[in-house]
C-alpha cells in the first residue's frame, strides 16, 4: 500500500494523519504556521485521498505499517481521530521513530463499554457501516455533521470540512468500511501504559465522538509522559473550529516557540 504524502516547510520532521473519510487537506489551517518550523509530511490514510488501498492489508498494524513506511525516519507525529489511533499505534510499534505524539480528538478505544463509558455507542458505527454500503456520500455527510455537533463554530466548521474533502479524490468504499471496523474494534488501552513517547492529548469540551471526559480515563490508565488539554467550546475538529487556540497548544508541546 503506497500512501500519498504532501511535504512542505523546513526544519525537524512532523507527520500529520487525518481522520476517517477525510484526507490530508483538512490540515490546511495549520500548515502555513507549522511549516515555518517543521518539514511537514501530511499523509493520506490507506484508501483515502490519493493513497492506494489493498483490502488484504486491513488490520490496524497494516495501516500503521503503511504510515511508517511513508513517514520520515524520525519525526513528531500529530494524529486526529482515527489518525490519532494510528499515530498511537506507531508510537507503540516503533518508538525509536517517533519523538513526540499529539493525539487530537482521539482515544485508545472509540466504542463504549461498561469499563469505558466516555465513547460512542457501538450501534452508531454499525449503522454507519450499513448505510455506507448503500450510499457512501450520504454517510460521509452524516458523519461530518456528527463531528461538529455542539461546537460553538459548528456551521463554519462544517463548511470548512466540506471544502477540504473535495480537494482530493473520494475515499475508496472498501477503505471506508474497514476504517469504520477499526474504529469499532480497536482497543489499545492495555498497551498504552507502556508508551515510551511523550504525548499530548487534545480533547474538545463539546465533542460527542470522543467526549472530554475520556481525559479522566486516560489519567487512570497511567500513561507516562502525557499531557491532557481540553478546548472550551470545541467539538471534534479543533484545527478547523479553533485553529489558533489548538495550534498554540501543539506548538508549545513541540517547542516551536513561534508567536506569529
Q: Looking at 13, 44, 151, 207, which residue is catalytic? A: 207
Q: 79: domain CATH number?
A: 3.40.50.1820
Which pLDDT score is estimated for 137?
A: 75
In a domain? residue 259: no
Stretch 76-94: mean pLDDT, rounded?
98
Catalytic residue among 18, 38, 136, 236: 236
**180 inside domain:** yes
Which pLDDT score, from 0 to 100, does residue 258 have? 44
Would you say residue 260 has pLDDT above 90?
no
The 3 state secondary structure assigned to 5-65 is EEEECCCCEEEEECCCCCCHHHHCCCHHHHCCCCEEEEECCCCCCCCCCCCCCCCHHHHHH
Q: What is the pLDDT of residues 106-148, one digit of tens each?
A: 999 999 999 999 999 998 888 888 888 777 777 877 788 878 8
Catalytic residue (one of 81, 106, 199, 241): 81
Indicate whether 260 belongs to any domain. no
Domain that holds residue 40: 5-254
Cβ-in-10-Å burial (0-12, 13-18, 19+) of 194 comes to exposed
Question: Does 132 reside within a domain?
Answer: yes
pLDDT for residue 224 is more than 60: yes
Among residues of the chain, what percentage have pLDDT more than 70? 98
Q: Is 112 part of a structural domain of the chain?
A: yes
Total domain count, the chain:
1
Residue 126 lies in a domain: yes
| Residue range 153-206, pLDDT digits in tens | 888 888 888 887 777 788 999 999 999 999 999 999 999 999 999 999 999 999
Tell me, yes or no, if 207 is annotated catalytic.
Answer: yes
Whether 106 sits among the annotated catalytic residues: the reply is no
Annotated catalytic residue 246 = no
Average pLDDT over residues 210-229: 95
pLDDT at 154: 81
Amino acid at each position: 500500500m503506497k500512501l500519498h504524502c504532501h511535504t512542505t516547510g523546513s526544519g525537524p520532521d512532523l507527520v500529520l494523519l487525518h481522520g476517517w473519510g477525510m484526507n490530508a487537506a483538512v490540515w490546511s489551517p495549520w500548515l502555513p504556521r507549522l511549516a515555518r518550523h517543521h518539514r511537514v509530511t501530511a499523509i493520506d490514510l490507506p484508501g483515502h485521498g490519493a493513497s492506494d488501498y489493498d483490502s488484504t492489508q486491513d488490520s490496524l498494524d497494516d495501516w500503521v505499517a503503511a504510515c511508517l513506511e511513508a513517514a520520515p525516519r524520525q519525526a513528531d507525529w500529530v494524529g486526529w481521530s482515527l489518525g490519532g489511533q494510528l499515530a498511537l499505534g506507531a508510537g507503540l510499534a516503533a518508538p525509536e521513530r517517533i519523538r513526540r505524539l499529539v493525539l487530537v480528538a482521539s482515544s485508545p478505544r472509540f466504542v463504549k463499554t461498561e469499563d469505558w463509558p466516555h465513547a460512542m455507542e457501538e450501534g452508531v458505527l454499525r449503522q454507519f457501516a450499513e448505510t455506507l454500503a448503500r450510499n457512501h456520500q450520504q454517510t460521509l455527510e452524516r458523519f461530518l455533521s456528527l463531528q461538529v455537533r455542539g461546537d460553538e463554530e459548528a456551521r463554519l466548521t462544517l463548511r470548512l470540512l466540506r471544502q477540504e474533502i473535495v480537494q482530493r479524490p473520494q475515499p475508496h468504499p472498501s477503505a471506508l468500511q474497514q476504517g469504520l471496523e477499526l474504529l469499532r474494534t480497536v482497543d489499545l488501552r492495555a498497551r498504552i501504559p507502556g508508551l515510551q513517547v511523550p504525548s499530548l492529548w487534545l480533547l474538545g469540551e463539546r465533542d460527542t465522538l470522543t467526549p472530554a471526559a475520556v481525559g479522566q480515563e486516560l489519567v487512570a490508565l497511567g500513561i507516562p509522559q502525557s499531557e491532557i488539554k481540553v478546548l472550551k467550546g470545541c467539538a471534534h475538529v479543533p484545527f478547523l473550529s479553533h485553529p489558533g487556540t489548538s495550534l498554540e497548544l501543539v506548538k508549545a508541546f513541540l517547542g516551536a516557540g513561534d508567536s506569529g
